[in-house]
Amino acid sequence: MLLPARSRLQAFTLIELLIVLVVGSVLAIISVRFISESGRMLLDSGARQQLAATGSVINEKISRLLRPALPGSIRVTANGRCIEFIPVKVASVYTSLALNMAITDFSAVPVSASEVNSGYAVIYPINQNELYSPSASGALTQAIATLPAGTAAVTVSLSSAHEFLSDSPVRRFYLVTTPEAVCQQGSFLYHFRNYGFIANIASLESSLPASQAAGRDVLAYPLQNNSLNFRYLPPTLRRNGLVTFSYILENPSSDDQLQQTQEVQLRNVP
């Protein structure tokens, strides 16, 4: 029995059905690949943004550590992977100071009406060797100096006698802590503290703390091995001291890398 003409027109042939299936499959594959590529691009963009954010944090942390460094205390290892400096706690001016003789105190202007400050006293730090080899005479004291609180001139007392050899042109003195360093070791960037004074910069890396309890804190991870490089340009009569550093950040889950370069001006003067 023959089908009515209208029924024959509404039916699908096998070829038409196959064409529909093929076209549908192609569209499905294209859609899946489009969604997959969009997701991958989104993840890659997120990873790059994370690297950029990490770089900004590293740059700011290092800059904040270096800006309050004691004038003349910046030094860099020969391989450029470590920078060492002496942090300043407070600075003020002295009103009277005896030179070229052992003293146990001097008069100064206080920096706080309520807070007592203490640290190593430094006056006119122009010889870096004196800063990293404290002795009974020179710019930096072996003794701890205590600056009392007050609203008028106070007496800064030293825990043992010291001989200052040079007068500051602006009568400035500093109270400082022990040296600190920022170094790359492997893929880690560390901040080191509490290791004392090391006379020879060549011995710095081998003398640094090996644990957090001893004074080692992680600043960043992961850096490309040996990518960190510090440079220091000492101040002149026409410009401030300048530290430049560069490094490469890596994403451990991909091949993404980000190179960073930063400059830090050191405005402190002796």
| DSSP E strand boundaries for the chain | 75-76, 82-85, 88-96, 102-108, 117-123, 140-147, 154-163, 172-176, 180-185, 188-192, 216-220, 229-233, 241-250, 257-266
Stretch 115-143: mean pLDDT, rounded?
95
pLDDT for 6 beyond 70: no
* Best CA proximity match to 173, nearest among 70, 42, 23, 47: 70
Report the pLDDT value the prediction gives residue 253, as an integer from 0 to 100: 74
Q: pLDDT tens, 131-185? A: 999 999 999 999 999 999 999 999 999 999 999 999 999 999 999 999 999 999 9
pTM as predicted: 0.82
In angstroms, how far is CA 2 from the centroid of its own chain? 89
pLDDT for 9 beyond 60: no
Report the pLDDT value the prediction gives residue 10, as an integer from 0 to 100: 58
Q: pLDDT tens, 189-240? A: 999 999 999 999 999 999 999 999 999 999 999 999 999 999 999 988 778 8
* Best CA proximity match to 98, nearest among 155, 179, 59, 151: 155
Distance CA 264, CA 67 (A): 7
Sorting pLDDT into bands at 50, 70 and 90, what band is 84?
very high
Stretch 82-86: mean pLDDT, rounded?
98
pLDDT for 48 beyond 90: no
Is the dihedral angle over the CA atoms 126, 155, 66, 196 positive or is it negative? positive
What is the chain's mean pLDDT, rounded? 88
Output the CA–CA distances (angstroms, integers) from residue 233 to 4, 41, 59, 102, 266, in the order listed: 97, 42, 18, 35, 10
Sorting pLDDT into bands at 50, 70 and 90, what band is 5?
low
- Counting residues of the chain whose pLDDT is more than 90, the rounded percentage is 71
How many Cβ atoms are within 10 Å of 16's Cβ, its own excluded? Answer: 10
Distance CA 205, CA 4 (A): 95
Sorting pLDDT into bands at 50, 70 and 90, what band is 43?
low
Stretch 53-60: mean pLDDT, rounded?
91
pLDDT for 80 beyond 90: yes
Report the pLDDT value the prediction gives residue 188, as an integer from 0 to 100: 95
Contact indicator for 188, 220 with CB cutoff of 8 Å:
yes
Distance CA 24, CA 37 (A): 20
Q: Label residue 36 left, alpha or beta by phi (over 0 means left) and psi (-120 to 50 means alpha).
A: alpha
